[in-house]
């Protein structure tokens, strides 16, 4: 049974979301403040004691929280090496908030008030996407991209003896490009498939993620040879 951690301080919303997630067959754990959420999700530096608790498959995270806000929580999680998918909920649905959330490391974003079926679909989607990103691509778990070797099952990228941990979104973006190697993938398609966002959304999130991938893959990230920009259209992973 997938386990969802719900971080929400508004009791009514927390109770309502919990009721619906449990009906859909999830095990739900609720936390009402930011500091306790970080304690649960971001392990402290090695050496200190950490009561990990049961593994969480998805975090549903509110932005306005007492103690520590949602953006900071995702950042701390990612810094601490926790790559559990995060769905952010917030009353502030402005485009810049969406972008801030995604850049902080959230995987999906839903403005309040939301439609219940949409929330449940996003939750299902994130858990499924995690499985999809993990599944071997064209039968192979390990894919060679330039000098690097990508392990989609483990969300890892190895290059020259160094191992880099990929976030769910980085892995998904890279997988989409690998599956369509040699072809141009449009920005709109990336937004839709990777971010679940409307293709018209004005955001630099895709460009930022491409920059991050280039830093992992390219010899020189400023003059990319593998992950090419097709001006005005999108991106292409060069054939080898």
To another protein, the closest distance from the beta carbon of 95 in angstroms equals: 8
- Closer to another protein by Cβ: residue 68 or 211: 68
95-104 and 205-217 helices, crossing angle to 10° = 20
The minimum distance between CB 16 and another protein, in angstroms, equals 4
**Tokens describing residue 177:** 């490009």
Edge-to-edge strands, sheet with 162-165: 142-145, 148-151, 156-159, 162-165
**Residue placing its CB nearer to another protein in the complex, 162 or 200:** 200
| Minimum CB distance to another protein smaller for 11 or for 219 | 11
Burial of 202 (0-12, 13-18, 19+ CB in 10 A): exposed
| Choice between 61 and 227, CB closer to another protein | 61
Number of H helices, E strands in the chain: 8, 12
Contact footprint for another protein (CB under 8 A): 10, 12-13, 15-17, 19-20, 23, 33-34, 63-69, 71, 91-94, 96, 112-117
Q: Least distance in Å: CB of 60 to another protein?
A: 13
CA distance 169 to 148: 18
**Smallest distance, another protein to C-beta of residue 59, A:** 18
189 exposure class (CB count in 10 Å sphere: 0-12, 13-18, 19+): middle
Q: Would you say 55 or 198 has its CB closer to another protein?
A: 198
Query: Taking the complex as a whole, how short is the minimal distance between the CB of residue 82 and another protein, in angstroms?
Result: 21
């Amino acid at each position: 049974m997938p386990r969802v951690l719900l971080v929400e301080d508004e009791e009514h919303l927390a109770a309502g979301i919990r009721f619906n997630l449990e009906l859909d067959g999830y095990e739900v754990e609720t936390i009402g403040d930011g500091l306790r959420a970080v304690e649960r999700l971001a392990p402290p530096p090695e050496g200190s004691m950490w009561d990990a608790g049961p593994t969480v498959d998805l975090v549903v995270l509110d932005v306005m929280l007492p103690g520590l806000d949602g953006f900071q929580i995702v950042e701390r999680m990612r810094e601490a090496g926790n790559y559990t998918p995060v769905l952010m909920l917030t009353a502030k649905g402005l485009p810049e908030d969406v972008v801030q959330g995604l850049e902080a490391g959230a995987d999906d974003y839903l403005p309040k008030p939301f439609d219940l079926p949409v929330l449940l679909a996003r939750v299902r989607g994130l858990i499924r996407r995690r499985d999809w990103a993990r599944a071997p691509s064209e039968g192979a778990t390990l894919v060679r991209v330039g000098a690097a070797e990508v392990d989609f099952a483990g969300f890892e990228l190895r290059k020259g003896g160094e191992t880099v941990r990929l976030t769910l979104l980085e892995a998904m973006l890279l997988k989409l490009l690998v599956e369509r190697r040699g072809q141009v993938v449009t920005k709109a398609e990336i937004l839709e498939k990777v971010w679940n966002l409307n293709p018209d959304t004005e955001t630099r999130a895709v460009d930022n993620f491409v920059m991050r991938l280039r830093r992992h893959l390219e010899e020189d990230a400023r003059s990319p040879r593998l992950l090419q920009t097709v001006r005005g259209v999108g991106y292409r992973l060069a054939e080898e």
